[in-house]
């Protein structure tokens, strides 16, 4: 999978989360990757499985399309989290007390506030 191939999808995803495709700074595409990415104030997108990702900076949203991903992320207050897949584990923090708006389609996903 290449990012270039999915730019139209990123543009649609970004527009759903209030950002432009150019603002999609933190994109993971693939499987079995361990990495740290900076959101740079934009959205975080994961398309794949078995990834272990730490997002730095404050992310405006998180979209996951896949399974068995482990994510650590700091979200902007009121951010959106969309998960389409199964057995993803998301540990999130926020600068405020407001919880993210969460939409999940799949089984066994865990979305927990980090301490």
- Output the DSSP codes for 14-39: HHHTT--GGG--EEEEEES-EEEEE-
Provide the residue-wise pLDDT of the chain in tens; the chain has 115 residues: 444 444 444 444 444 444 444 445 799 999 999 999 999 999 999 999 999 999 999 999 999 999 999 999 999 999 999 999 999 999 999 988 889 999 999 999 999 999 7
Q: What are the structure tokens assigned to 77, written together?
A: 């207050």
- State pTM to two decimals: 0.78
Q: Where are the domains of the chain?
A: 4-109
**Which pLDDT score, from 0 to 100, does residue 24 have?**
56
């Amino acid at each position: 999978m290449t990012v270039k191939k999915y730019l139209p999808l990123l543009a649609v995803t970004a527009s759903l989360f209030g950002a432009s495709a150019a603002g999609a700074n933190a994109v993971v595409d693939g499987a079995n990757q361990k990495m740290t990415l900076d959101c740079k104030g934009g959205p975080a997108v994961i398309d794949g499985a078995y990834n272990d990702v730490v997002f730095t900076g404050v992310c405006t949203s998180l979209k996951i399309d896949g399974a068995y991903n482990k994510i650590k992320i700091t979200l902007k207050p009121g951010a959106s989290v969309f998960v389409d897949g199964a057995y993803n584990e998301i540990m999130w923090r926020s600068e405020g007390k407001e919880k993210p708006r969460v939409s999940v389609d799949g089984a066994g996903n865990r979305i927990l506030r980090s301490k």
